[in-house]
Structure 1
Amino acid sequence: MANINLTINYVEKLKPSDKKFNVRDKLINELILRVSPSGTKTYYLDVKLPNRRTMKKIGDAVVLTPQMARERAKEMLLQIQAGETFKPKLTLRKLLDKYYTTHELENYKTGQYTIDCIKKHFTWLFDRPVESITFIEIEQWRSKRIKTVTAATANRNVDMLKGALTYAYKHKLIDSNPLKGFPRLPEADSEEKVRYLTDEEYAALMVALDEREDELRAKRARTRAHAKGQHLPDTSATVYADYFKPLILTALGTGIRRNAIFHLLWSDIDFDNDTITLRASWAKNKKTAIIPMSRKVKAVLEAWRKECPGEIVFPSPKDGGYLDNADQSFAVVLKKAGIKNFRWHDMRHDFASRLAMAGVDLNTIRELMTHSDISTTMRYAHLSPNVKKKAVDMI
């Protein structure tokens, strides 16, 4: 087979066969792409050493573009010419598992949170040599990230990754830090970040949630009408069609952070004393907190408890384990309600803002929000222009 000018399009369209086969690059003869029967595509360097011929793995095609593979192949060829042996490159996975996780857990209370965030947001870099990470790909990731979070949150995410790479460089695990000098995004003033629902938006959201419930029930009824769907539970008489509406009502009525509410257990809910325990393992500040439960939230959870008898309060509909996100359903109901520029975390802002507008003092809001410092509470405890107008009209 003649050498091929490997391109992204060519590699993506390449089909596997019943036996593995190689495609040699036209630009760098030593670079080959191996395609296995399972469809796995891997770049190798095929070189002739003084006493033997050998193939050295460069990386997976799902991670490396052809041009990236060529650059790595050139580096490896230069190593051979210089008489160097192939040193295994430090991947992000190895950096976390062998070095950085232990460092974070031993030195910082928020160490586990940092590691969890890196694993959540940068899994796509795990099997890459850390020195191959580039500014442009992190910029591209961040551009997508800020569509759903604030610039401050995106900055924190990148800072966590940069912290791991800085650690590797300081401890001479890598020769250079690929993200040294990576710029942070400008962050808006704290008041600009606070977003809460107007009364009209809140009402529209409730209508959208009810419409979603009706659609789910209608879909379930159609499915149960067929033999293959008769084993599914009948939701026509249940209070909730699935987990999503009680999840949103609980989030709006408690201000609990997303990660904590996704990991709530029924053992955390005390219906006798009307409290919810936020376990330290899922709290941002890694401290256990007990918050009061309003009558509305209690009614929601009591009704949902009858329909959800397992251990997890809001289990994933996929596997019954912990939820990892509810972004798609959230986006659908927001669109249906005509609500724009409202993120999941803004439900927390909404909770604090409504407390402030109801005249609740800042220290109580701080305790309900589980803030360590009241200065953090100040950005939530704002008043809408209408409330300010009513206040001056009272004079």
Structure 2
Amino acid sequence: MKLTKRQIDNAACDENKARCLWDDNLTGFGVKLLPSGAKRYFVKYRSYGGGRRAKQRWFTIGTHGQIPFEQAKEDARQILAAVKRGEDPQGEKLAIRDAPKLVDAWEKFEREELANKKPATIRDYTSCWERHIAPRLGSTKAVDVSRSDVSRLHQSLSNTPYLANRMLALLSSLMNRCEAWEWREQGTNPCRFVKKFEEQPRERYLSSPELERLGKALRDLVDEGAIWPDVANLIKLLLLTGARRNEIATCEWGWIDWERQVIMLPDSKTGAKPLFLGDSAIEVLQRQKVTTRDPASTYVFPGKKQNYPLVNLSKPWKRICEFAELNDVRIHDLRHTAASIAVGKGVALPVIGRLLGHTQTQTTARYAHVDNQPALAAANAIGNGVADCIE
């Protein structure tokens, strides 16, 4: 029977049971009559042009009355022609509908890879995802994220170039994972040609007068009981070693090799490494043994909570800076100051790199041939430059 528009207009189904009208002139094409009164055009076929063992597919073309009958029939011809070419139009439609979203990529990344990162990295990545990427692109299918989407998001953070570039790096990493998981075509990372913002490196070093004011502030605030001796000793040790804050703040007594004058850090931003201690740094540590708020603690600088290190330095550091009249100085700038003093004392750059544990691969390779003695000499050079000001 040849299916016509008039037939469809006049056709109806039982009250509780749908039925189909078929077009004998175009095998697989028909219209489904629903109890609701709706009439929907469809094509029935075997996927990829296969035989009886191939999966049976029902492809809905549209609703009668919303698209013309002849248009529906022509669409059916195109679909069936695609099936003869070995395609699966309904399968592709379902794949697009069920394609994973970017939030699925994040959950897989979080579950399989992020858990192995360092705590600070986990914190930074999670914050960047939750605050910037998820609200804008989380519900977008991974395959549909475009370069214009990425560019708009990147531009929206133009007032914070560093953050914008870190966000771009994280998103690019997620897109690379999507390619690896075959959620996107290979080589389609939409972050690839989005230009990063220029970042102005922050160069802030404490001058000799500023170091003197810092030393006085540490002494006076301890005498007044405004800060704990632990805080003052921690600040001094950061200056004397050029270490990162957490490398000192989470240090345990068992990591210190007093004879070799090193702290053997089991982990750091760049992995396990020795932290060299000049004579002035050793003196600070010996003083800390006496003044520590918790002599029984395994941590060199114990926090208020038992069995926890000193973690919150923001409030005491703000008080110290106000007392010492230090403007725009971060705790991390103490590390920069240590490096600048070492340079001023004529210490070779590779030795400074070994001392501070820089992250550049090519630089680290050069440090591999520097033995402990020059590094200890560098630690003493920094100590001599700092100690006169802060003691």
TM-score range, shorter chain: 0.5 to 0.7
Structure number, greater radius of gyration:
2
- Tell me the amino acid that sits aligned with residue 289 of structure 1: K
CA contact (8 A) 2:252 2:300 kept: yes
Distance (whole Å) between structure 2 residues aligned to residue 182 and residue 319 of structure 1: 48
SS at match of 1:243: helix
Distance (whole Å) between structure 2 residues aligned to residue 140 and residue 213 of structure 1: 45
2:253 counterpart of 1:266? yes
Deviations 1:149-193 (A, max 9, x none): xx4xx46632442244323542355899897766533123xxx64
Identity score, percent: 22
- Tell me the amino acid that sits aligned with residue 331 of structure 1: K
CA contact (8 A) 1:92 1:130 kept: no
CA contact (8 A) 1:362 1:374 kept: no
Taking a change above 3 Å as real, the CA distance of residues 163 and 213 of structure 1, as seen in their structure-2 partners, is farther
Name 1:158's counterpart in structure 2.
167
Taking a change above 3 Å as real, the CA distance of residues 172 and 333 of structure 1, as seen in their structure-2 partners, is farther
Taking a change above 3 Å as real, the CA distance of residues 114 and 247 of structure 1, as seen in their structure-2 partners, is closer
1:187 to 199, 215, 218: 199
TM-score, normalised to structure 2, is: 0.52
Alignment of 1:11-22 (within 5 A): none
Name 1:247's counterpart in structure 2.
234
Alignment of 1:1-395 (within 5 A): 90=103, 94-101=107-114, 112=118, 115-116=121-122, 118-119=124-125, 121-122=127-128, 124-125=130-131, 130-131=138-139, 143=159, 151=162, 154=163, 157-170=166-179, 171=181, 184-188=196-200, 193-215=202-224, 217=225, 241-279=228-266, 281-282=267-268, 284-286=269-271, 288-306=272-290, 307=292, 308-309=294-295, 310-317=297-304, 320-371=307-358, 373-374=362-363
Taking a change above 3 Å as real, the CA distance of residues 370 and 363 of structure 1, as seen in their structure-2 partners, is same
Alpha-carbon offset, residue 374 of structure 1 = 4.0
Taking a change above 3 Å as real, the CA distance of residues 119 and 363 of structure 1, as seen in their structure-2 partners, is closer
Taking a change above 3 Å as real, the CA distance of residues 243 and 158 of structure 1, as seen in their structure-2 partners, is farther
CA contact (8 A) 1:100 1:167 kept: no
- Tell me the amino acid that sits aligned with residue 298 of structure 1: I
Distance (whole Å) between structure 2 residues aligned to residue 117 and residue 206 of structure 1: 33
Taking a change above 3 Å as real, the CA distance of residues 313 and 267 of structure 1, as seen in their structure-2 partners, is same
SS at match of 2:284: helix
Alpha-carbon offset, residue 253 of structure 1 = 0.5
TM-score, normalised to structure 1, is: 0.52
Deviations 1:34-83 (A, max 9, x none): xxxxxxxxxxxxxxxx9xxxxxxxxxxxxxxxxxxxxxxxxxxxxxxx99
- Tell me the amino acid that sits aligned with residue 285 of structure 2: L
SS at match of 1:321: coil
Aligned CA RMSD, in angstroms, stands at 4.2
Alpha-carbon offset, residue 200 of structure 1 = 0.6
SS at match of 2:288: helix
List gaps (5 residues or longer) in structure 1: 1-49, 51-81, 106-110, 219-239, 382-395
Name 2:27's counterpart in structure 1.
none
SS at match of 2:275: strand
How many pairs does the alignment contain?
A: 257
- Tell me the amino acid that sits aligned with residue 290 of structure 1: P
Taking a change above 3 Å as real, the CA distance of residues 177 and 364 of structure 1, as seen in their structure-2 partners, is closer
List gaps (5 residues or longer) in structure 2: 1-35, 37-92, 141-148, 367-377, 379-391
- Tell me the amino acid that sits aligned with residue 128 of structure 2: F
CA contact (8 A) 1:254 1:351 kept: yes
CA contact (8 A) 1:258 1:344 kept: yes
Taking a change above 3 Å as real, the CA distance of residues 161 and 353 of structure 1, as seen in their structure-2 partners, is same
